[in-house]
Structure 1
Amino acid sequence: MCERVIPEDQRDEHHLVPKSKGGKKTVLLHRICHDQIHSIFTDAQLAKKFSTIETIVEDPAVRTFVTWVRNKPPGFSDSAKESRQSFRRGR
């Protein structure tokens, strides 16, 4: 999606049609890209309208994210998000 190399520890499988909607085909994405997709779209939206990487990237919010993340190093992750999650877990 962002056209960066995906380090092994940052790989996530994205079901083009969510498993909950019967999807089987997957693509490998950076974890941060995968998280962004699911923060923007519902499973129903992914199944009905955004079942290819091409249609996902056409969305203006995704395009903005891709433009931003494309210049980050391959292993980049959102440390602010990780910090918030750790804080919520009491770590």
Structure 2
Amino acid sequence: MADAPLACWLCGRPLGSRVEWHHPLPKSRGGRTTVPVHPICHRTIHATIGNAELARRYADAEALRAQADIARFLAWIADKPADFHAPTRRRR
């Protein structure tokens, strides 16, 4: 039996050919653990929330998914293919 494909830590969709590794607790704040994410999901996390706030409030996947901008992104990306890519908007 083949192994099930890895799923993205943020969106839960199967990962495609490109995988990036995200530190839920930013490395600059002492994080060592990494989780697999799509490149677009990784860019969205960092374009939306700074490392200090990620460390303070969003090291947990459920808390991050509940953040308003991330929740909107997740609803939009839900039906896209695993290797989908689009430009990521910067934080305001």
Q: State the TM bucket, normalised to the shorter chain.
A: 0.7 to 0.9
Opposite residue 72 of structure 1, the aligned amino acid is: K
- The structure number with the bigger radius of gyration is 1
Deviations 1:1-45 (A, max 9, x none): 212111132x11110111111101111111100100001101000
Q: Which runs of 4+ in 1 moved over 4 A?
A: none
* Aligned length in residues: 79
| Structure 1 runs not aligned, ≥5 long | 83-91
CA RMSD of aligned residues (A): 1.3
CA–CA distance in structure 2, aligned partners of residues 2 and 51 of structure 1: 15
| TM-score normalised by length of structure 1 | 0.81
TM-score by length of 2: 0.81
1:87 is matched with which residue? Answer: none
Kindly report which structure 2 residues correspond to 1:38-77, keeping only aligned pairs within 5 A, or say none.
38-77=46-85
8 Å contact kept, 2:23–2:35: yes
Percentage of matched positions with identical amino acids? 33
User: Within 5 A, what are the aligned runs for 1:6-85?
Assistant: 6-9=15-18, 11-78=19-86, 81=87
Counterpart of 1:89 in structure 2 is none
Tell me, what secondary structure is at the counterpart of 1:28?
strand
Query: CA–CA distance in 2 between the matches of 1:39 and 1:8?
Result: 22
Q: Which amino acid aligns with 1:36?
A: T
User: Which sections of structure 2, spanning at least 5 residues, go unmatched?
Assistant: 1-9
